[in-house]
Chain A
Amino acid sequence: GNSVTQMEGPVTLSEEAFLTINCTYTATGYPSLFWYVQYPGEGLQLLLKATKADDKGSNKGFEATYRKETTSFHLEKGSVQVSDSAVYLCALSESGGYQKVTFGIGTKLQVIP
């Protein structure tokens, strides 16, 4: 079956540091890939997505590139802010069936001033 693996964290960074959160996946076919962000006490919000190999999703300074050869979709940001503190979840949507979404366990990011 499909699976998504991401570092569990927590990840603690100082403000303006560079962020990388690794995500790798296992899937058949050609899934779409997503990063969601979850702030405390809230539901998940879509951060960015990529629908085919070599696509780069970007939003709010965050980027991730769909790498089919390494089955990865790592999340990066050049300079994090305190307001970026949240849980980040990598996910894939399978290309067949009803496009069931499989989520990673989530990585908690804490940015300190």
Chain B
Amino acid sequence: DAGVIQSPRHEVTEMGQEVTLRCKPISGHNSLFWYRQTMMRGLELLIYFNNNVPIDDSGMPEDRFSAKMPNASFSTLKIQPSEPRDSAVYFCASSFRQGGNSNQPQHFGDGTRLSIL
């Protein structure tokens, strides 16, 4: 079975440019998460979607960041304009949430390593 697919794997761009990261969750999963990982802060939740609806975006750093999930099989995270401090590895994860069940693990993609020059 295909896992969570992210693209691109690596992105290098100059400050001020728009960056779009893409994610295809595991088929049948109804929850999708975007994370950012840095050495200093570890893994931070940016936004959580359930059934394509954003539920928690409290981790989105600022208005330069936006995320969409137009359908159950695709999501994007956009940064516009990008800044050097946005350099990090961005992960997408998906899971199946059913009722009050908290023991379903998240399945992660391999991440996008973003470098803003």
Contacts and interface: CB of A to CB of B under 8 A. Distances in A.
State which size class the interface on B falls in: 20 to 34
B105 A49 contact: yes
B60 to A, nearest CB: 15
Contacts of A98: 31, 48, 50, 55-56, 97
Nearest to A95: B102
Nearest to B50: A98
Interface stretch (B11-19, B61-69, B107-115): B107-115
A99 B97 contact: yes
Contacts of A32: 102-103
A112 interface: no
B111 to A, nearest CB: 5
A96 B42 CA distance: 24
Contact of A103 (B42, B97, B102): B42
Contacts of B43: 44, 89, 103, 106
14 contacts: A36-B108, A43-B91, A43-B93, A43-B108, A43-B109, A43-B111, A44-B108, A45-B108, A51-B102, A51-B103, A89-B43, A96-B100, A100-B48, A100-B56
Interface of B: 4, 31, 33, 42-43, 45, 48, 50, 55-56, 91, 93, 97, 100-111
Interface of A: 31-32, 34, 36, 41-46, 49, 51, 89, 93-96, 98-101, 103-106
Given A32-B102, A99-B97, 10 more contacts: A32-B103, A34-B105, A36-B108, A49-B105, A93-B103, A94-B102, A98-B56, A99-B101, A103-B42, A104-B42
